[in-house]
Amino acid sequence: MEVYRRPESRPWERIESRSIVAGAQKPRYVDISNPSLSVQCPNCGLQTQRFLDHCRNDGYKLWPSSEMASAAFKAWRDADPRRAEASRYDLELPAEAADATIDYAARAHQLGIHLFPSSNYPFIICVGALFLALAAVPFDGTVRIGLLVIGGLIFLYGVVGWVLVEDVRMFPSASPSTDGEVHH
């Protein structure tokens, strides 16, 4: 690997540190103490990937070759275990894995948002709706009335069970009958 050094006559191109350590096998032009994955392009001034050989904005050549950029990236990445997941196509390091478990019910309660409880009643409501829909089919009059009654009962059972029983059980303080707020 050749030693790459930006010309002294163009100091504004000092993207990386120019310290040269003789004999090192790693690329000598990488400032591995700099945690950034992006760099300001010396030509267009926009942020671009630090370890791609060309600026993604205007194609300005940041590295003499893709191999050198890759080698520089590897040296930079291996300098810190926190960089292990980094990609040289990214502008930033991947975010620390945050605790992804969120208590949405507690969060919603805190924000005053009413969540319907997770429930099997919606399926019952759908079955009721199916019978009600069948009642719209022009069968014989008694069949339609029968379907209407069956569907209506199932539908009402689902709605009552879901909205009045489970919902009140889940939000005892937010009962629709007591605070007068419109939830649904």
Query: Closer to Zn ion at the Cβ: 58 or 67?
Result: 58
Residues 47-76 that bind Zn ion (CB under 5 A): 55, 57-58, 60
Number of residues that bind Zn ion (CB under 5 A): 7
Return the DSSP state at 47. E
CB 49 within 8 A of CB 69: no
Q: Does 4 bind Zn ion (CB under 5 A)?
A: no
Tokens for 8, please give them. 């002294």
End-to-end CA distance of the chain: 68
- 77 CA to centre of own chain: 24
The three-class DSSP label of residue 145 is: helix
From the CB of 81, what's the least distance to Zn ion, in Å? 31
From 22-30, 36-44, 106-114, 170-178, give the range in contact with Zn ion by CB under 5 A: 36-44
**In degrees, to the nearest 5, what angle opens at C-alpha 151 toward C-alphas 146 and 154?**
130
From 8-16, 31-39, 42-50, 117-125, give the range in contact with Zn ion by CB under 5 A: 42-50
Cα dihedral across residues 31, 32, 33, 37: positive or negative: positive
Q: Does 44 bind Zn ion (CB under 5 A)?
A: yes
Query: Closer to Zn ion at the Cβ: 58 or 181?
Result: 58
Query: Closer to Zn ion at the Cβ: 41 or 68?
Result: 41
Q: Which residues contact Zn ion by CB under 5 A?
A: 41, 43-44, 55, 57-58, 60
